[in-house]
Structure 1
Amino acid sequence: MAAKPTLPWSHACWHVLRIALSFSLIFLDNTILFFTALLAYFPYFPYLRLRQKRNVRFYPKTILITGIGTPHGLKLARAWAAEGHRVIGADVTDLDLPIRSGGSMSKALVAFYRIPKDHYISRILDVINREKVDIWIPCSPKATSIEDATARQMVESRTGCKCITFDENLAICFAGESFTKFVTERGLPVLEYHRVQSRDSVHKILHRSPSKSYRISRATPTANDRALLLPRRTISKTYTCLSEIQITQERPWILQQQFRLGEVFADLLIVRGQVQAIKVRLSDAGWGSSRLDQALSAAIQTLMQSLATKCGTRSTGHLTVRLMIDEEFDAHSVRHSIYIAGCSSGAKVIESLLHDIPCPIAGYLSVFPSNPVDSRSITASLSSTPKKFPRAAILPAAFLHFSLLHFVLTLVEVAGSELARLLFWKDPLFTPLDPLPWWWEVHIYRPLREVWMMVKQTREAGLKGY
């Protein structure tokens, strides 16, 4: 029998560190919770609800939000509750941990459910029938866009609930390489990608688009191969460069369009073929301050509306589109051109879309034909792509590849980053009127989850030893 291995100490150190940091602020956080709890004697968002009670045309909806434990899921729940709607929260669970997440403790919820990952679709349908849900917004990262699309087909065929997720056809299209074909067939600009098998085909592509820049490389490059930029400064240099390349059917090359001004991401809420919310994320923090950038943002919004319209009236969901900005030259002018380079869909898009902007409640309600919203009144917001600290697995990597001193310095850096996340004014779960989700997440759910992960990893390490 092989020796029974134990959990690597570096992984255990990581879990213990997070637990210790969580409890290091418990006395301060208890004080904050006590004083903010005094606000609980006041009605939740009293002025908004009083205004809605006076509005005889207001009919509250029942909203189901899965993934209530995520910051964006909780933000949506609070926004819907602030408007006077009835909010049901749910978490998709793939662990046996019996502790509820922090978001489930929010006073914005009227009910909470735990949905096992193995019975995702059936339990979603059960909750919607039980609570008479009008709108379902999936925010859980534990369910894929395909699973949400399958659930939508089941829900909308059996109930009157509207689902803010794409159907199966669009979900499959947005999840793979077929997106490029989908966009090209609808006449939208796409970043060019060619698999060329002769020099003549390369010349034809360059002649067809003289203002564009390309990079050519082997389809199966080796370590010593380098990509070449085309076209060259003169036609003769371009011909000379290509004459030195052997391109055949057996040895094809890849010709890919280059972009000279960087990449941009457009986060979208599309409802019934209309863009109801859009945020343009710029990869360079220096963008967004000039009138030219504002014009670029408006052009991106126009392009995204064209994409949404050509997806059809059944297209409803969240979508992030990756765009490339190129600078193309004519004889007497220069212009910026926008090309679609890829996309991602599903619940993970909501986190980027709702970061630092209000929740588009009216946009979600436009899923009902009786609540239309003029998409021309929607304006794009500009932001920079946030840089995330790579926390996962950094301690083992630091220990294996660096000296002990560097490991200690890395440990201090990680501890500082984790401690900053625990500060209440930097935690997206915290609001003065609803502080319990923040406190519960920091001091109950996360520590117990870390303990559970240590136990699970120890058991798995023990099973591998036999």
Structure 2
Amino acid sequence: MLDARSPHSLHFAQNASLVVLSLLFLPLSTLLLFASYVTRPFLSNEDAARKHILSSVSRRDSSFRPKTVLVTGVGKIKGLFLARAFYKAGHNVIGADFEPHGIPVCGRFSKALRSFYSLPKPNEKVGAAYYIDALLQIVRKEKVDLWVSCSGVVSALEDGQAKEVLERRSDVRCIQFDVVTTQMLREKDAFVAQTQRLGLPTLETHKVTSRAAVHKVLNESPRTKKRYIMKSVSMDDASRGITTILPKRNVSETYNHVSAIPISGNKPWILQQYIKGREYCTHALIVNDEVKAFVACPSSEFLMHYEALPADSTLSRAMLRFTEEFVRRCGSYMIGHLSFNFLIEEIVSEKGAQMTLLPIDCNPRVHTAVVLFHGQEQAMAEAYLTALTPQINSIRERPITNGYAEAQSEPPSSPVTPSKPHPNIDGYTTAPPEPSSPVQPVNPARYYWLPHDLVTLLLLPLLDRQTTMSAYLQDCQTFLQHLLLWKDGTYEVWDPLPAWWLYHAYWPGQFWAKAVMGGRWSRVDVSTGKIF
């Protein structure tokens, strides 16, 4: 894998080869595109299904009127999925997104959208003013009822600012945390501190702003025998790609590694205790301090395959319980998306296996795992639209203190009676869900991205001299299994153009722009449109 130290010629070749690869598969993809349009009326008539939903809902509720929903981030698969979900549930969907290098994003071409707007990207020079003003103009022009933010990592705080402005200057409701909550959740050290204040377990974490501070923590490791993962607090792509386990095999190697890391008061890092265990991630919709939708799935450092845990499994229920407890103990008005990363530590003793659930960090935004709700679009739309109910709207009248509405329960510092522990999951009850349980996937499909697997499973191993024949055949078997039994995260037979555009216009355009400008990257997330 190439990195910043790799020669420019190799990076150019990498970008050019991916453009050529897209061109090679263009005829086949175009044939599939036209086949989708021809067979769509017979295989999946979404227009008829949409009319049926509207008719059945209208019969149940004569006051039902389709809402106008603004979904930002439709160039990401998570935003596109939610736009499609609201469309299939009978609502009018407005899409918007940034368009890097002027290249249209795939969501612009979705049948689910009534209209699309290109947004100005916030930057250090002008801040978020133009971005927020653009959102406000869209909300007023389209008479938007609900804004669902599918922000990326970099624009999360700007979306928090936009929420506060939009709800103050218009009647729109926003599925987005405010600035204070967003900042607390997305900054790793602040999230860990909040989790500890709430009386919930978490990993030992140290915020460090100098190399001396790093070595001070590591000097204790020979005595405690602890190891740490060093991660940047910053959200910039270069730093996000650097994670390492410390200390190294010897003192000299540790010092050399730490000396190469850009660390200062302006660029703080964290040392988080390293524990071997299985990693999981979750996606949750929070409306008025309630978890309205939830899914958990196995995770990895670079997650490109999604398979939901059964909703009634012990692990899924434990992670749902943690999410509910976290939201409840925060004691403040919360509306937005929560995505936790968990580590499951398993300790085997004479008494049996004991599993401990430990949160690693939190992302206050939509997780790509939202695609696992495929088939439950109407239930998902209804969960989002609970934000428009009068009871929730009345919260706007509560006095705001430091970014939070006045708490309706005990403050975070108040003692909370611990839940009865489950014998297998330390610290969490896994009792059956209450009657008002959140929407969860039912028999969900497993998701992958065909071009990603094509490159990583079939092509790259051929360039690796260490790849054995048996290992390559195993990769081929995995690819074939995904192709036949899994579902591509972007392609829909009733809405095929976004996938065609993503693979044959958007990504080739991004790669060519990188080649021309001399850009370097180490990996690409096909699902989010992100280049690292």
- In the alignment, which residue of structure 2 is the partner of 1:211? none
Residue identity in the other structure for 1:83: A
Bigger shift: residues 183-192 or 268-277 = 183-192
Residue identity in the other structure for 1:365: L
- In the alignment, which residue of structure 1 is the partner of 2:327? 308
Task: Please tell me whether the aligned partners of residues 348 and 354 of structure 2 are also in contact (alpha carbons under 8 angstroms).
Answer: yes
- In the alignment, which residue of structure 2 is the partner of 1:189? 201
**Structure 2 matches for 1:90-109, cutoff 5 A?**
90-95=96-101, 97=102, 99-109=103-113
Query: Is residue 2:241 matched to residue 1:221?
Result: no
The SS at the match of 1:366 is helix
Residue identity in the other structure for 1:168: V
1:14-44 superposed Cα distances (whole Å, 9 cap, x missing partner): 2221121112122222222222223567864
Question: Taking structure 1 as reference, are residues 113 and 143 closer, same or farther at Cα in structure 2, changes over 3 Å only?
Answer: farther
> How does the TM-score come out when normalised to structure 2?
0.61
The SS at the match of 2:12 is helix
Question: Taking structure 1 as reference, are residues 194 and 38 closer, same or farther at Cα in structure 2, changes over 3 Å only?
Answer: closer
- In the alignment, which residue of structure 2 is the partner of 1:272? 288
Query: Is residue 2:401 matched to residue 1:354?
Result: no
Bigger shift: residues 56-65 or 438-447 = 438-447
What is the CA distance between 1:376 and its match in structure 2? 2.5
Question: Taking structure 1 as reference, are residues 313 and 256 closer, same or farther at Cα in structure 2, changes over 3 Å only?
Answer: closer
**Matched residues, number:** 385
**Structure 2 matches for 1:114-125, cutoff 5 A?**
114-118=118-122, 119-125=130-136
Larger of the two Rg values belongs to structure: 1
Task: Please tell me whether the aligned partners of residues 75 and 97 of structure 2 are also in contact (alpha carbons under 8 angstroms).
Answer: yes
Structure 1 stretches lacking a partner, 5+ long: 1-6, 196-216, 231-253, 459-466
- In the alignment, which residue of structure 2 is the partner of 1:206? none
Question: Taking structure 1 as reference, are residues 375 and 407 closer, same or farther at Cα in structure 2, changes over 3 Å only?
Answer: same
Task: Please tell me whether the aligned partners of residues 448 and 489 of structure 2 are also in contact (alpha carbons under 8 angstroms).
Answer: no
Task: Please tell me whether the aligned partners of residues 93 and 114 of structure 2 are also in contact (alpha carbons under 8 angstroms).
Answer: yes
1:241-286 superposed Cα distances (whole Å, 9 cap, x missing partner): xxxxxxxxxxxxx99877575443332221111111222233599x
> For 2:141 and 2:358, how far apart are their aligned partners in 1?
45
The SS at the match of 1:111 is strand
Query: Is residue 2:449 matched to residue 1:430?
Result: no
- In the alignment, which residue of structure 2 is the partner of 1:35? 35
Q: 1:448 aligns with which of 509, 518, 526?
A: 509
- In the alignment, which residue of structure 2 is the partner of 1:178? 190
The SS at the match of 2:284 is strand
1:210-244 superposed Cα distances (whole Å, 9 cap, x missing partner): xxxxxxx973436x9746449xxxxxxxxxxxxxx
- In the alignment, which residue of structure 2 is the partner of 1:208? none
Question: Taking structure 1 as reference, are residues 377 and 406 closer, same or farther at Cα in structure 2, changes over 3 Å only?
Answer: closer
What is the CA distance between 1:148 and its match in structure 2? 0.9
Query: Is residue 2:384 matched to residue 1:364?
Result: yes
- In the alignment, which residue of structure 2 is the partner of 1:212? none
The SS at the match of 1:166 is coil
Question: Taking structure 1 as reference, are residues 289 and 454 closer, same or farther at Cα in structure 2, changes over 3 Å only?
Answer: closer
> For 1:431 and 1:303, how far apart are their aligned partners in 2?
34
> For 1:381 and 1:190, how far apart are their aligned partners in 2?
30
Residue identity in the other structure for 2:113: L
What is the CA distance between 1:314 and its match in structure 2? 2.2
> For 2:450 and 2:37, how far apart are their aligned partners in 1?
32
Query: Is residue 2:320 matched to residue 1:318?
Result: no
- In the alignment, which residue of structure 1 is the partner of 2:95? 89
Residue identity in the other structure for 2:116: F
> For 1:101 and 1:300, how far apart are their aligned partners in 2?
34
Query: Is residue 2:437 matched to residue 1:376?
Result: yes
Task: Please tell me whether the aligned partners of residues 89 and 113 of structure 1 are also in contact (alpha carbons under 8 angstroms).
Answer: yes
**Structure 2 matches for 1:386-397, cutoff 5 A?**
none
Bigger shift: residues 65-74 or 81-90 = 65-74
What is the CA distance between 1:370 and its match in structure 2? 5.0
Question: Taking structure 1 as reference, are residues 229 and 68 closer, same or farther at Cα in structure 2, changes over 3 Å only?
Answer: same
- In the alignment, which residue of structure 2 is the partner of 1:141? 152
Q: 1:45 aligns with which of 24, 44, 47?
A: 47
Structure 2 stretches lacking a partner, 5+ long: 1-6, 123-129, 208-213, 227-269, 393-433, 520-532
What is the CA distance between 1:10 and its match in structure 2? 1.5
> For 2:343 and 2:438, how far apart are their aligned partners in 1?
26
> For 1:288 and 1:75, how far apart are their aligned partners in 2?
16
What is the CA distance between 1:437 and its match in structure 2? 1.5
Bigger shift: residues 150-159 or 276-285 = 276-285
Question: Taking structure 1 as reference, are residues 59 and 260 closer, same or farther at Cα in structure 2, changes over 3 Å only?
Answer: same
What is the CA distance between 1:451 and its match in structure 2? 2.7
Identical pairs, percent: 28
Task: Please tell me whether the aligned partners of residues 279 and 383 of structure 1 are also in contact (alpha carbons under 8 angstroms).
Answer: no
1:130-162 superposed Cα distances (whole Å, 9 cap, x missing partner): 111111112242642211101111111111111
Task: Please tell me whether the aligned partners of residues 275 and 375 of structure 1 are also in contact (alpha carbons under 8 angstroms).
Answer: no
- In the alignment, which residue of structure 1 is the partner of 2:180? 169
Q: CA RMSD in A?
A: 4.6
Q: Which has the higher contact order (CA 8 A, sep 6+)?
A: 1
Query: Is residue 2:167 matched to residue 1:156?
Result: yes
Residue identity in the other structure for 2:54: Q
- In the alignment, which residue of structure 1 is the partner of 2:12? 12
Task: Please tell me whether the aligned partners of residues 372 and 444 of structure 2 are also in contact (alpha carbons under 8 angstroms).
Answer: no
Question: Taking structure 1 as reference, are residues 308 and 30 closer, same or farther at Cα in structure 2, changes over 3 Å only?
Answer: same
> For 1:327 and 1:288, how far apart are their aligned partners in 2?
21
